[in-house]
Amino acid sequence: DGGITQSPKYLFRKEGQNVTLSCEQNLNHDAMYWYRQDPGQGLRLIYYSQIVNDFQKGDIAEGYSVSREKKESFPLTVTSAQKNPTAFYLCASREEGRYSPLHFGNGTRLTVT
Amino acid sequence: QKEVEQNSGPLSVPEGAIASLNCTYSDRGSQSFFWYRQYSGKSPELIMSIYSNGDKEDGRFTAQLNKASQYVSLLIRDSQPSDSATYLCAVNPLTGTASKLTFGTGTRLQVTL
């Protein structure tokens, strides 16, 4: 079945450590996205990529980094510079075009203590 | 003014009633609109998309779009307890890249027995 796989589902880290969240899709979508969700704040865009080897900052990119070496993969690194990293992280993809919806993975819940 | 606004709720409706969820947006040139359902602790799932003025029906769900008034709504007929979730409105604005959907903060729906 086609879909988006995020791993791990839960992740615990100590403050000051970098951590990488995995996102893989087999939908053959060109565009991939990372969102962060905090209670009561909806979805906020961190980074997105419309093509391999290219990506753009979203609204809250500070403290995060990404890479897009393969069409299927778009990993997100949460660095120690991110001040409030505890959140629910969602990876998504879509076909190009204004009328295409986003398809989401199951999310990774990151807790940093 | 937020780009996409929703009443956070909770909106409480009795089982079997019609639930009406509303969303307004600021970019008059927006061209595509999506409704996602999100259960607590889960990722959003697409339930409706609409692009033209008027109504679009899919089973118990009806999406309504009025571009002149810049609002989009979702009606859920014969509401069931399983419909209890947060409903996110997403808009593809005209300004900026076509790849960026903007989300509202969501309306929490509670269907009571």
Amino acid at B37: R
Residue contact B32–A98, C-beta within 8 A = yes
HEC-encoded secondary structure of B46-111: EEEEECCCEEEEECCEEEEEECCCCEEEEEECCCCHHHCEEEEEEEECCCCCCCCCEECCCEEEEE
Residue contact A106–B100, C-beta within 8 A = no
CA angle at A107 for the pair B74 and A89, rounded to the nearest 5°: 95
A8-58 pLDDT tens trace: 999 999 999 999 999 999 999 999 999 999 987 789 999 999 999 999 999
B77-101 pLDDT tens trace: 999 999 999 999 999 876 555 567 8
Size of interface A-B (CB pairs under 8 A): 54
Q: Do A58 and A48 touch, CB atoms closer than 8 A?
A: yes
Collapsing DSSP states into helix, strand and coil, what is residue B2? coil
Look at residue B1 and tell me whether its pLDDT is greater than 80: no
B103 contacts on A by Cβ (under 8 Å): 42-43
B-chain residue closest to A32, CA distance? B99
Which of A31, A42, A100 is closest, CB to CB, to B106?
A42
DSSP letter for each residue of chain A: ---EEEE-SEEEE-TT--EEEEEEE-S--SEEEEEEE-TTS-EEEEEEEEETTEEEE-TT-TTEEE--SBTTB--EEE-TT-S---EEEEEEEE-SSTTPPPEE---EEEEE-
Q: Do A24 and A43 touch, CB atoms closer than 8 A?
A: no
A56 contacts on B by Cβ (under 8 Å): 97
Residue contact A107–B101, C-beta within 8 A = no
**Numbered residues of chain B with Cβ closer than 8 Å to any chain A Cβ:** 8, 31-32, 34, 41-46, 49, 51, 88, 90, 92, 97-101, 103-106
B39-87 pLDDT tens trace: 999 999 999 999 999 999 999 999 999 999 999 999 999 999 999 999 9
Residue contact B44–A90, C-beta within 8 A = yes
Which of B43, B46, B97 is closest, CB to CB, to A101?
B46
% of chain A beyond a pLDDT of 70: 99
Smallest Cα–Cα separation from A103: which of A7, A9, A2? A2
A66 min Cα distance to partner chain B (Å): 17
B101 contacts on A by Cβ (under 8 Å): 102
Residue contact B101–A102, C-beta within 8 A = yes
The span from the CA of B79 to the CA of B17, in Å, is 5
